[in-house]
Amino acid sequence: MLDRIDFEILEALQNDARLSNKQLAARIGLAPSSCLLRVRSLVERNIVSGVHAEVSPEALGIGVQALIAVRLVQTSRDAFRALRTYVATLPEVLAVFHVSGAADLQLHVAVRDVGHLRDLICDRLATRKEVDRCESSIIYSFTRSPRLPRYAAAPPERRPVRRSRRRAR
C-alpha cells in the first residue's frame, strides 16, 4: 500500500528522475537515509519499474515512426503469444499493444525511412503465419507525458492521538 510520502516521491521522480537522493529527500522533507529506503522499496515492489533518458530519434538515425495495426489470421492466445514474442525481438518495435477492434495488435515502430518501414512490414511481419494483414499509419508528431495520472487515493494521514495530561495534586 502506498502512503502520502510514497505518492510525493513518485510525483517528484516522474517530474525529474535525475534528482539525487539528497535532492529528493529535501523536496519531500525526509532524511536522505529514509528517502533512500523508500525509493528502494518502491523499486523492489515494482512500483518504480525503471528510469530512462529521452533521446532524440534523429540523433539515432530514426526518420520515421509509425503505428502498425496487425490482424491475426485466427485470434487465439497461442497466436498472440507467438507473434508478441517474435516482435519483441525486432529492434524497430518500441511498444506492443494488445487491443480491441479490427486489429489485434498495434505496434509502435521506429525506422530509418519509409523504405525501411515497407521492408519491416513486407519481409518481417506480413510473412508470419499468424498474420492476416498489416496496416500502417505514419506518425507525423506526438507528445508523450512522462507522468501517469494518479487515480488511487493516498490513505488519510494518521494523526497522533493527543492525551491530556493530568496534573498531580
Print the SS3 string covering 61-127.
CCCEEEEEEEEECCCCHHHHHHHHHHHCCCCCEEEEEECCCCCCEEEEEEECCHHHHHHHHHHHHCC
Q: Tell me if 145 is assigned to some domain.
A: no
CATH number at residue 20: 1.10.10.10
Which residue range(s) make up the domain with 108? 60-139
**Which distant-in-sequence residues (6+ apart) come within 8 Å of 130 by Cβ?**
72, 73, 74, 79, 80, 82, 83
Residue 101, in any domain of the structure: yes
Range 140-150 average pLDDT? 86
Whether the per-residue pLDDT at 155 is higher than 90: the answer is: no
Q: What angle do CA 114, 117, 122 make, to 5 degrees?
A: 125
99 and 68 co-located in one domain? yes
d(CA 127, CA 133): 10
Residues 95 and 132 in one domain: yes
- Residue 105 in any domain: the answer is yes
**pLDDT (tens digit per residue) in 92-112:** 999 999 999 999 999 999 999
Determine, yes or no, domain membership for 69: yes
d(CA 107, CA 53) in angstroms, rounded, equals 21
Give me the pLDDT at residue 151, please: 86
Q: 51 pLDDT exceeds 90?
A: no
Residues 64 and 135 in one domain: yes
Contacts of 45 by beta carbon, 8 Å cutoff, 6+ apart: none
Q: H/E element holding 138?
A: strand 131-139
Confidence of residue 1 (pLDDT cuts 50, 70, 90): confident
Burial of residue 124 (CB within 10 Å: 0-12, 13-18, 19+) is middle
The number of folded domains in the chain is: 2
Nearest C-alpha neighbor of 106 from the set 116, 114, 96: 96
> Is 38 within the bounds of a domain?
yes
Mean pLDDT of the chain: 90
Grid coordinates given for 130:
499468424
Give domain status of residue 88, yes or no: yes
Only one residue has cell 517530474, namely 15
Other CB atoms within a 10 A radius of the CB of residue 154 amount to: 14
pLDDT band at 167 (very low <50, low <70, confident <90, very high): low
> What band does 147 get if pLDDT is binned at 50, 70 and 90?
confident
CATH number at residue 95: 3.30.70.920
Residue 112 lies in a domain: yes
Residue 35 pLDDT > 90, yes or no?
yes
Q: Binning pLDDT at 50, 70 and 90, where does residue 148 land?
A: confident
